[in-house]
Amino acid sequence: MNTVLLTAERCLMSDYNGSLFLGFTACAPRSLFKPFLYFRLICPPVPVENGSAKIAPYGTRKIEATLLENGFKENEVKIVPPEKIRKSITEDTRVVGITTNDPLGLGPASTTFSGDKGLVKEESFNVWKFRELLDSLKDTNVKIVVGGPGAWQLEDRNIRKKLGIDVVVIGEGEAVVSDLFKKIVAGEEVPEVVYGEPVEPERIPTIRGASVGGIVEIARGCGRGCRFCMPTMRKFRQIPLEKILEEIKVNCKNGKKFINFHAEDVLRYGARGFEVNKEAVLKLFTAGLNFADSLGLSHFSLASAASSPDTIRGISELLEIPNSEHPWIAGQTGIETGSTRLIENYMPGKAKPFSPQEWCEVVETAFGVCSDNSWVPCATLVIGFPGETEYDVRKTVELVENLREYKSLIVPLFFVPSGPLRSQKGFSAEEMKSYHWELMLECWNHDIHWLRPLAEEYLRKSPVLSRKLLMRFVEWVITKANRRVHEFIKEQIEVEKWR
């Protein structure tokens, strides 16, 4: 019947050949790769069976499960890839629900590297494909509902009207989407903006099909209270182990044997407050290995890693890391700054159970623990905090210098107003001072130092053509782009010094 069709913009509807961290390339300017090659070799489409996507973004799977548990029948809800959405609409279709992470390119990564405020004044792949998806749905009689982590970017009515969006759901959707979709199907009037609310673990449904990257959520929210970050302001809730195992089974049954645990800090599973519960974390990984071939993780906190090196060591031992399949474990984490003043002002909870004044020591200790146990931190910094001074930035430069010996990636991102700091002004490339450029250069040098070995190890199981394309790109970055970037940044440093 296809009463409800669910999809996502094209960059989310890919498994990136099992190399999920390549998903960050979607935030890059669209000229970085030829689209023909990018969407075939790096970001290939998801497989389709009987018109339905065999794997889908985890958030889309949650909405599907919510609808099926609240009155919709299986023949009424269908997840389809964006390139097939128009042909999937029938006379019975009433709603198209779209998942998006960064629809307007206003997230930190896109804002830094692409778009009007970024280093390259060109739209990113994800912005391009989101707009293309909506254009394909124009002149249809269905209601377009958009949700996901980037939905906050669509709160403005003029933007929604221009794009052809009828309703946007901001926040967690499980408690609101079933009633919303029922009203739309019944032809009732609905609000143009619907705000979700924190959902208790027992009300979060179990996914029905495989998720992109084999993602399985183990906790939601954070509670560290970083004032620039929306997830850290949300209530911390842990998913019961039995529900986690059910989702692992669903993924494995549908061919996803490598499972990625997702939380803002996987190391806090089972914790009381900010003290790592080693037994609970190792129990989680041990239980997961009863079904999955191997396990990974999305995010971890440097404070948690520094406070419990035995937990890091225990996970590596359980997964037998390094091994021929997985030479290391990678996870996203946040350094944000080397300034203890900014830590204390904007994110004192980030350092817990340590103090803000110990932050730099915490970061270095955590990187050392990761290095000793074959973990690779993919870390972010924030440039342009409100009230940031040259001293703050230079302390961050010093910290990055001290991290050079540890295999890792460090990515500087522009400050984007969100959470309690939403009323503040965002940062842009035009506001870069000489010391900001010096930080950019230090991060660039760090990443160039580790780029080749990381790429060779990460891509060795990728399809041959994809691996060749990406390694050729890596060699170009190291041998040619590196020189150009150095020349450009040094020129910017000199220009800014004379202003």
349 close to 225: Cβ distance less than 8 angstroms: yes
Cα–Cα dist 33/246, whole Å: 38
Residue 326 has pLDDT above 80, yes or no: yes
For residues 226-231, give the mean pLDDT: 75
Whether pLDDT at 231 is above 70: no
Residue 232 has pLDDT above 60, yes or no: no
Distance, CA of 55 to CA of 45 (rounded, Å): 10
In tens, the pLDDT along 424-477 reads 888 999 999 999 999 999 999 999 999 999 999 999 889 999 999 999 999 999
The model carries a pTM of 0.95
Note the pLDDT of residue 294.
95
Three-state DSSP at 294 gives strand
* Cα 262 from Cα 218, distance rounded (Å): 6
Q: What CATH fold (topology level) applies to the domain 209-427?
A: pyruvate-formate lyase- activating enzyme (3.80.30)
CB atoms within 10 A of CB 262: 21
| Mean predicted confidence (pLDDT) in 277-292 | 98
| Band of pLDDT at residue 229, cut at 50, 70 and 90 | confident
Percent of the chain having pLDDT more than 90? 87
Contact between residue 413 and residue 112 where contact means Cβ atoms under 8 Å apart: yes
Beta strands in 84-148 (DSSP E): 95-99, 143-147
Give the pLDDT score at 234: 67
pLDDT of residue 423: 83
How far the first Cα of the chain sits from its last, in Å, is 64
Query: Tens digit of pLDDT for each residue in 388-399?
Result: 999 999 999 999
Q: What is the pLDDT of residue 230?
A: 67
**Residue 339: count of CB within 10 angstroms of its CB:** 23
What pLDDT was estimated at residue 179? 96
* CA angle (65 as vertex; 47, 191 as ends), nearest 5: 110
Asked if 206 and 250 count as a contact pair (C-beta separation under 8 A), the reply is yes
Helix axes of 278-288 and 309-318: crossing angle, nearest 10 degrees: 10
Gap between the Cα atoms of 110 and 474, Å rounded: 20
8-state DSSP, 153: G
What does 323-354 look like in DSSP terms, one character per residue? Answer: -SS-S-EEEEEEEE-S-HHHHHHH-GGGGTTS
Per the structure block, which two tokens stand in for 65? 């499960």
Q: Are 144 and 151 in contact (CB under 8 A)?
A: no
Q: For 204-225, write each residue's pLDDT tens digit.
A: 999 999 999 999 999 998 888 8
pLDDT band at 421 (very low <50, low <70, confident <90, very high): confident
Instruction: Give the three-state DSSP class for 169.
Output: strand
Mean pLDDT throughout 242-253? 97
Mean pLDDT of 350-374: 97
pLDDT at 312: 98
What is the pLDDT, as a whole number, of residue 168?
Answer: 98
Q: Residue 286: pLDDT above 90?
A: yes
Name the average pLDDT for the chain: 94
DSSP letter (8 states) at residue 211: E
Q: Where are the domains of the chain?
A: 4-195, 209-427
- Please state the rounded mean pLDDT for residues 372-380: 98
**For range 67-92, the mean pLDDT:** 95
Q: Say what the pLDDT of residue 424 is.
A: 87
Rounded CA gap, 184 and 178, in Å?
Answer: 10
Question: What average pLDDT does this structure show over 241-257?
Answer: 96
CA dihedral 276, 282, 288, 290 (to 10 degrees): -170
Q: Tokens 């979700």: give the residue.
A: 196
User: Architecture of domain 4-195 in CATH?
Assistant: 3-Layer(aba) Sandwich (3.40)
Nearest to 418 by CA among 378, 379, 386: 386
Q: Could you give the percent of the chain with pLDDT greater than 70?
A: 98
